[in-house]
Structures are given as C-alpha cells and as structure tokens.
Amino acid sequence: MSGLPPIAQWIHLDWMLVVTMAWLVVGATGIFALRRFSLVSQVLFPIGGLLGLVLFGLALDALFSRPEVAVLPIGLPALPFHLRLDSLSAYFLMVIGGASAGISVFAAGYFRKGEGTPPGLLCLEYHLFLVSMVGVVLADDAYSFMVMWETMALSSFFLVTANHRMAEVRSAGYLYITMARIGAIAVLLCFGVLQANTGDYTFANMRAQVLSPSWASVGFLLALLGFGAKAGILPLHVWLPEAHPAAPSPVSAMMSGVMLNTAIYGLLRVSFDLLHVRLWWWGGLLLGVGLATALFGVIFAAVQTDMKRLLAYSSIENMGLLFVGMGLTLIFSAYGMQPMAALALTATLYHVAGHAFFKSLLFLGTGCVLHATSERSLGKMGGLIRMMPWVAWLTLLGVLTSAGLPPLGGFVSEWLLLQSFLFTPGLPVPLLTMLIPVVAALIALVAALAGYTMVKFFGVIFLGQPREEKLAHAHDAGHWERVGMVWLALGCIALGLLPTQFIQLIDPVTQQLVQSGLGAKAAASGWLLAPSSLAQASYGPVIFLLGILGSFALAFLLVRRLYHGRIRRGLPWACGFPWGTARMQDTAEGFGQPIRQIFEPFFLMRRDLPTPFDAKPHYRVTIEDHFWRWLYVPVADLAAYLARLIGLMQQGRISVYLLYSFLTLAATLLVVMR
C-alpha cells in the first residue's frame, strides 16, 4: 500500500495485516526461545489466541463494509501481492480467527513439553500456518494465492511431522505433501485457464474474462481437482486418515476445523466470483461427489477403533456435505432460482462455521485424552468421565453438535440443507427433479449414521468402566486447555441458539455470490428460523431448549418424589447382574459390527482368526480402503518401476555420462538445423 493512513482512519485490511505481522513476530520469538517451555506456553501461544480474537472482530465488522483492495510491493519485481477483502473473504477470516483463538489457547497447555519438535520451533510453524491461511483468503491474484497456498502446505507438513522420529509419522507426512502437490498443480492450471491467455493473473482480470462454456468447464474441473484434494473428497481423501492421527492434536484441530475450509473458500471463489458461466451439470457433479464422499466418510468413521482416525473420517463426511450444499447452490444458480440458491449457500456457509468449532473441539478433547492416557485405541478406553469431567462434558457438547442434535449449531446447518432439498420447486431437468428427493433421503441417512458414530465415540471413551488399570491415573485438562475448549463449546452453543442473527451475518456473502439472501426473512421472523415462510417450516431454538430443560426438570422432580429410595442402581449393560466388569460392556468393535455387516462391500476387511493351539487366542479384524488398493498402490508401483528404469542410466562411469552429453548435444543440433 502506498503509505498508511492515520491510525484513526485505518481500514480493516490494514489492521488485518497488522495481526498477521504480529503472528509472524510471535512465531519468530519462538525461535529465540527454542526450548524455554514456559515462555512459549505461558506467553506466545496465548498472545496468538488473543490475535485470533482480534482477527475475528475485524472480520465480523468487515462483513458489512465495502470491498477493500491493496497492493503490497513484495514478491517478484513485476508481481506484487494484490489483496482484496470482501464479504466472502471476511466471513472465512471470521471463522479462521474464531476457531484459531480457542485452539491457540489450548495449545498453550498442550505444547508445554513439545511433540518431538522443540516447542519454539512448533510455535514458528504454527503461526506461519495461521498467517498463510489468512494470506490465502486475502489473495487477489494467482501469484500471491499460490505463494500462500504452498506456505500453508509446507508449514502444515512440518507440523504433521512434528514427531518425525516415528516412521509412520514421516510416511503420513510424505503422503500429505504429495497430495498437496497434486492439488497445487491443478489450482495453478486452473488460474492459467481463467486468465484466458492475457498474461494478467490478477483476479480482477479473471473476473473480466468471458470464457466459453467448454473452457469454463475446464477451469471448474481443475478447481474441483485442486481444491478437492485439499478438502479430502473421494478419491483424494487418503491423506486425512493418515495425517490427522500423526499430527499433534491442536494441529489436527487446525487442519480439520480450519484449513479444510480454505478449500471450500477456493472453490466458492472460482465458481461464483471468477467464473461468469454456471452450468447445471457442475452442480450435479458436485452433488454426486459430495454425496459419495459423505457416505464413505461416515461409514468408515462408524467402524474405526482409533479415536483420531474416527474424527478424520468424520471430517471427510462433513466435507462431503459441504460439497453437496455447493452443488445444490450451483444447480439453482444455473437456472436463475436465486432465493433457493441463497438457501443452499446459507446452509453451506453455516456448516463451515459449525464444523470449524465442533470438529476443533472434538480433536482437542482427544488430545486431552491422549495426553492423559497415552492411548488412541478406543478398545482401551472407558469410564474417563470420572477422572476427566471437564474434558468429558465439553467433548459431549462437541459430540451433540456433530451429531446434528438441537439446539446446537450442527442441527441448524443440516436442517437448512434438508429444507433446501425439500422445498425445491420443479427443475427444468427431469432427472434432477427425480434425484433430488433421493439425495435428501441419503443426506438423512448420513446424519443418522453420524449420530450413531458420535454415540460410539463418546460412550466408549467416557462412559462405563475403565478397561485398563492405568486409566485410573488419568488427569483432567489444565487451565489453558479448559479455556480453549470452553471458547469452542460456546461457539457451538451460540451457533445453535442464535441462528437468525448468524444468518444475517451470512447474508452479505450470499448477496455477493448469488445476488440473494435470507437476511431480511431471518430478521422478520424474530427468534423463529423460517427459510421460506412460517407456515411451511420453522424452528425455534430457544423454545426447543426451554422444552428440553422443562422436561428434564419435570422428570427429575417426579423421580425424586415418587421413586427416590425405592430403586437400586445397577450397570445398564449387565441386565441386573450385580457383579459387572469392564469386560461385559460394549466395545468399539462390537458397537461398529452392525455397520460392518450392512456395508461390508465398502470395506476391504482382513480377519485374523485364532487357531485351536494358540496359547492366547485372539480375533482381529483390520479394515482397509478399497481406493488405496485399487488406485494408489498401482500408481506407486508404476512410479517405482519407472524409477528403476531411469536408475539404469546411472552407471557411475564418467565415460557413460559423457556419452549422454554428446547424444543430447547431437540431438539438439539436429533439431536446430532443421
């Protein structure tokens, strides 16, 4: 920017740049305090959380402001950084700031002893990761976007491989960075198509281009590939179940709850801002891919026995739901049905915020359990609500939100998405009109399976009796960790109890992208949420909450008055048997067995059966991904074969290398002489 204005007149973009610079300073300070745990945990990470709150407030205020642009004289000589802050970028910055504030404060307690990497270095990588995500959302040209996109990938790679001394962690990191490279190449090619051979890679120039439907489709498909690889859609999902368990829990929370949303932002930016053409089959493609991803993710999540892998597959499911919402928005927008497009887009953006808060909360809860028990296997958990009440009750809020139960935030977004299906008027394409109700039914199935998965997740970890003796020594979360989790839990509650107010925050984004919104209807309906009209469907979260509290109070009074002292407490799974043990309660494998049987074709199952002569007989079922065997293993084998062929050229003899040089020079001369 050419000179900064006086402090009293600074605009939102200036202050956001100040926040990002402050994050860089905090990260750089971590290098000078490489192994001073107290400075990193007690000072630097809390400051980073406070800066996240500042970003949240600035973005919230910028939602209703005019777009702001700036040019930073950094980068290459003829390629400065173009920045733009509009309603779309402000909304995603609000989500980044809000979620990162809680995660950063939690990290202040979590990273006290490091995770295989000195905490000071983790501090630098972590805050560079935050800065890069902000840079991605603010970028207004392909050059700055790709620089920030790659910085985001590299910084998160180093965070994933924090415990790099373990071979499986390194393997997960290499898989993640490989998929990130594939996605980055596709995004770069997409920008190459959008600039229409003008040589100007600014987003303003791309908006001015009018591409033919065929070239616009090429650009859209490249964007789907590039951003889909980052979001983890089928079949590009394989890195999520590997990278999330390998990363430290605050990093897993940041990647799943925040970083995945940058892929949603990128696809929205390309589809609704940079491209003027919108074809119905783009939405149909997103709808199909998203539905397949959501079903795949929730089915695999239901049978997992590793708590972080379960949450990783749950993230795949939620990304699938977001792609379904974007697909429906594209279909409505292609046929000029702007009010319905605004409803579908509102549901999508609402779920972006909800997923950022509840998934971050769940990953932080698993981090507390992991630190307290040194276990990730659900089969070795149980009864931790007694030893870790803070973690258990806060995680329960995240579980209920993820399951889509009212009156929390997860219910509102899924309810709005279903409303956009149920109130769909007739579409010009009969096939779409026929398939929309089927897709709605499958979305309901996904929601039901998500609830089933969350019951398993919380029940096996926190309820019942401890399955291992060492669980009796588990400790509850520290003060910093509690504060971070409470902030995210409050976000889940606020999104559930204040839907009409939050929809009014989303309204500027939908007005920008589809020229319509629900803000006026939401404001007119007061505390009742009605996507179309009160006569068709409405939802009152406060009324629902009061009904729940009243029912619980009535039940409590009746039990105290009529049955107090007349009943004997017993284990619910023991059928009245008084000497129940932890071996009698349901296991993670047993809980997921019905899903394994119903959806067996989805899984590549390997059964390890006991033999009659085993001293300690055991039965083990290993579930693998068909896509890994069908797609990625053949590609890896082909790459290894080609590498061996190329390796034959390395003879280790100078005469052979001189021969290669001579043949190359001769071929070059022949081409030039022609």
- pLDDT score for 355: 94
Q: Which two tokens stand for residue 129?
A: 């990761």
- pLDDT score for 263: 94
Q: Which two tokens stand for residue 293?
A: 């991803």
Contact indicator for 160, 247 with CB cutoff of 8 Å? yes
- Tokens 């005019």 belong to which residue? 66
Integer CA distances (angstroms), 461 to 32, 106, 369, 468, in order = 39, 21, 9, 12
Residue 636 lies in a domain: yes
Residue type, 606: R
Integer CA distances (angstroms), 612 to 351, 608, 609, in order = 52, 13, 10
- pLDDT score for 114: 56
pLDDT in tens, 158-193: 999 988 888 888 888 899 999 999 999 999 999 999
Q: 606: exposed, middle or buried (C-beta count within 10 Å: 0-12, 13-18, 19+)?
A: exposed
- pLDDT score for 287: 92
Integer CA distances (angstroms), 230 to 233, 262, 265, in order = 8, 8, 11
Contact indicator for 283, 342 with CB cutoff of 8 Å? no
Helix (H) / strand (E) element for 604: namely strand 603-608
Contact indicator for 365, 492 with CB cutoff of 8 Å? no
- pLDDT score for 433: 76
Residue 651 lies in a domain: yes
Angstrom distance (rounded) from CA 583 to CA 464:
10
Helix (H) / strand (E) element for 413: namely helix 409-422
Residue 244 lies in a domain: no
Residue type, 441: A
Percent of the chain clearing pLDDT 90 (strictly above): 39
Residue 659 lies in a domain: yes
- pLDDT score for 6: 41
- pLDDT score for 569: 65
Question: Range of 637's domain?
Answer: 630-673
Contact indicator for 292, 320 with CB cutoff of 8 Å? yes
Angstrom distance (rounded) from CA 68 to CA 65:
8
pLDDT in tens, 455-485: 889 988 888 777 777 888 888 888 999 999 9
Residue 667 lies in a domain: yes
Q: Which two tokens stand for residue 474?
A: 């588990």
> Please, what's the b/e burial string for 444-473 (b: 16 or more CB within 10 A of its CB; e: otherwise)?
eebbebbbbbbebbbbbbbbbbbbbeebee
Candidates 602, 530, 491, 639; CA nearest to 174 is: 639
Residue 656 lies in a domain: yes
Residue 635 lies in a domain: yes
Residue 545 lies in a domain: no
Alpha helices in 498-540 (DSSP H): 499-514, 519-524
Q: 478: exposed, middle or buried (C-beta count within 10 Å: 0-12, 13-18, 19+)?
A: middle
Mark the ranges of the chain whose per-residue pLDDT is less than 50.
Answer: 1-9
Contact indicator for 283, 334 with CB cutoff of 8 Å? yes
Q: How many domains does the chain have?
A: 1
